[in-house]
Amino acid sequence: MALYHDGLPDMTFCCPVRALSREGVLLILETVLGLDTTESARRLVRLLLADPLGDREEWEEVLEDYRSDSTEGLLIRYGEVSEFVSNDLLPTITVRSPILKNANLEILVSSLGSSTDSTGATFSADTFLVPTVTIPTSHTGQHNFVRYPVHRSIVCGSGVDGLLAFSTLLARSDLKNEIDSVRGAIELSVSDKRSSDRLSFVDVERASTALDKIRQSVQNATEYERGWSGSGVQPLIDWFASMAYTDSQEGLNPALVPLIESLLDSADEGIAARNSHALQAQEAGLVPALVRSKLDEGVATWAERAHSELRSALEEGFASPRWRGLAWWKLFWRVDDVSMITSEILEKRFLQRAERETIWSSGQYQQAGLLEEPSGSAESTSDSKKQPTPPPWPTQIPDTRTKLLRTTIPSLQALAQSLVLFSVSTTTLTSALSALTYFSVPSASVYESGTLVAVGLIYSLRRQQKRWDAARGFWEEEVLDEGRNALRETEELMRKIVREGGKIAEDLTDYQSQEAVDRARKALARVMA
């Protein structure tokens, strides 16, 4: 338990929050913190532990006369023989007190600074429940600061200033489940001594007078009862006694409940902070929405220019003299140029500018961080090592060009050669047949014999014209269609990169830790039920 004296939070003393074990029973640590000094705290502790039916004991004298640095703690524990151990690192007084014995309680007395500042800082629960005490470390007089956790704390103040200091301190403290573990004891004479769960008004002088009366004679019991009840000390004693707990009792020691709830809350806050930090670290590597929006607009502009280029460039290529020079009737002497001319059209007219702009755009994506691989698990990392490295930019356009060069041009070249061969062979065959007819049939005239040659020539040339013109038109449409498909696929890929690239696919939430905390809360609820 902790007693504070007038002032604001510069807490020098608080009860230990740790749970020790003495003879198999939970040891409860409390602190009484005095504001600025420990005088009021020591006087209150004496009243809490004194035996009204016994004579004044030596430990009471030691406690009242004890003088030390306000930051040096004083530990009070139960002992069959009352004594003061001053050569310990933490000065200790053993007291034969039923309260200490029944509640298995130890009390730490220290001080809490009352100086105020205008920073408006918020104080944590550690201000009350993890006080700092100084202990000597060597004969040179050097000291170390030691954190001394406790279960509950009483802050002891004097007068109106102490009340204001405690109220300000409590208002600026971030107490949650620990709120029931902190109580104020203000030495102030008021007509109404009713206490609340957080604050008690005590009249130390009146309580001391009542204690002296009953010790003088039991006949003063009425005066003692009236003075003691009006001093407001008894509610604090009852608060101390409420910590009493034995192994025969079922359920969880009430002293541990706020501590466990506080630990669970701290765990929740830690998990939330870690998840938030991980999310911030993840978001720091993502591309801002404004940059994505601008890049997405760039994709739309690129697609519009690319489609315009596809139409205009191919129209120029198909209208060029070299392509027109492959007319059906010129195939007889230009059949070997089909492959060269069509390859030239694809290599020079098929989306050259669009391909360069795609590479340039990919550089923008790389600079913006859109092409960075998302971080994942070790399994996904090992799987990615087995997969081929993707190209640094979309390759649909060059892949389509290569496919057209490898599949359509050889077939077009073969068709041209077969048409020329058919026309030549058909004309030659009909010419030979016409000559044979002329020489073998004496009555056949040259005109009649030449009819066969004319029929063969007209048929072969007409066939060559129809099939070659159809093949050229089909190839032109195929190149246009494949170009549109390549542009559509490239645009889809670029939009996917802009909208989804660089994002981390894994869920960074620490579900395992959160589930462990939830299980602990459920277990606590079952024990408390």
Residue 109 in this model has a pLDDT that exceeds 50: yes
Residue 222 clears pLDDT 50, i.e. is over it: yes
Start-to-end C-alpha separation, the chain: 26
What is the residue extent of each domain of the chain? 10-249, 287-376+385-503
Strands 74-78 and 143-147: unpaired
Range with the poorest average pLDDT among 155-164, 201-210, 320-329, 441-450: 441-450
When pLDDT is averaged across residues 68-78 and rounded to a whole number, the result is 77
Host H or E run for residue 27: strand 25-35
CA 161 from chain center: how many Å?
45
Mean pLDDT of 297-326: 91
For residues 374, 376, 382 and 386, what is the CA-based torsion angle, rounded to 10 degrees? -30
What is the arithmetic mean of pLDDT over 88-117? 80
Please write the tens of the pLDDT for every residue from 39-57: 888 889 999 888 888 888 8
Using the predicted structure, report yes or no on whether residue 389 has a pLDDT greater than 80.
no
- Give the least confident one: 138-152, 181-195, 304-318, 374-388: 374-388
The top-scoring range by mean pLDDT among 348-352, 389-393, 447-451, 454-458 is 348-352
Of 127-131, 194-198, 413-417, 510-514, the range with the highest mean pLDDT is 413-417
Give the C-alpha separation, 405 to 396, whole Å. Answer: 14
Contact criterion met (CB below 8 Å) for 227 and 206: yes
Report the pLDDT averaged over residues 105-118.
Answer: 74
Q: Give residue 475's pLDDT band: very low, low, confident or very high (50, 70, 90).
A: very high
Residue 344: pLDDT band by 50, 70, 90 thresholds?
very high
pLDDT value at 327 more than 80: yes
pLDDT confidence bin for 153, thresholds 50/70/90: confident
Each residue's pLDDT tens digit, 479-525? 999 999 999 999 999 998 888 877 654 566 778 888 888 888 888 88
- pLDDT computed for residue 23 by the predictor: 43
Q: What's the average model confidence in pLDDT over 22-33?
A: 63
Inform me whether the pLDDT recorded for 2 exceeds 70: no
Pick from 1, 324, 343: which is nearest to 180 by CA?
1
| DSSP 8-state assignment for residue 37 | S
Structure confidence by residue, pLDDT tens digits, 224-240: 898 898 888 888 888 87
Least confident of 95-99, 105-109, 189-193, 414-418: 189-193
* Mean pLDDT for all residues in the chain: 80
Q: Are strands 83-85 and 132-136 parallel, antiparallel or unpaired?
A: unpaired
375 versus 36: which is more confidently predicted?
36
Between CA 149 and CA 16 the distance in angstroms is 3
Q: Which H helix or E strand runs over 372?
A: none
Contact status, residue 432 vs residue 449, Cβ threshold 8 Å: no
Q: What is the mean pLDDT of residues 119-145?
A: 73
Highest mean predicted confidence (pLDDT) among 4-18, 180-194, 499-513: 180-194
pLDDT at 414 over 90: yes
> What is the percent of the chain with per-residue pLDDT over 90, rounded to a whole number?
18
- The band of 460, judged by pLDDT with boundaries at 50, 70 and 90, is confident
Q: pLDDT tens digits, residue range 256-298? A: 777 788 788 888 888 888 888 877 766 666 667 788 888 889 9
Least confident of 247-251, 302-306, 525-529: 247-251
The pTM of the full predicted model, rounded to 2 decimals, is 0.55
Q: Is the pLDDT of residue 193 over 80?
A: no
Digit-coded pLDDT (tens) for 167-179: 888 888 877 777 7
State residue 377's pLDDT score.
42
* CA dist., res. 412 & res. 342, Å (int): 9
Is residue 227 within 8 A of residue 197, CB to CB? The reply is no
- pLDDT band of residue 188 (cuts 50, 70, 90) is confident
Q: Per-residue confidence at 381, pLDDT binned at 50, 70, 90?
A: very low
Residue 452's pLDDT band (cuts 50, 70, 90)? confident
Contacts of 48 (CB under 8 A, 6+ apart): 99, 233, 236, 237, 240
> What's the pLDDT at 71?
64
Helix axes 352-368, 396-440, angle to 10 degrees: 160
Query: Lowest-confidence range among 16-30, 80-94, 427-441?
Result: 16-30
Tokens of 377: 């698990």
pLDDT of residue 388: 66
Q: In the beta sheet, which residues pair with residue 66? A: none
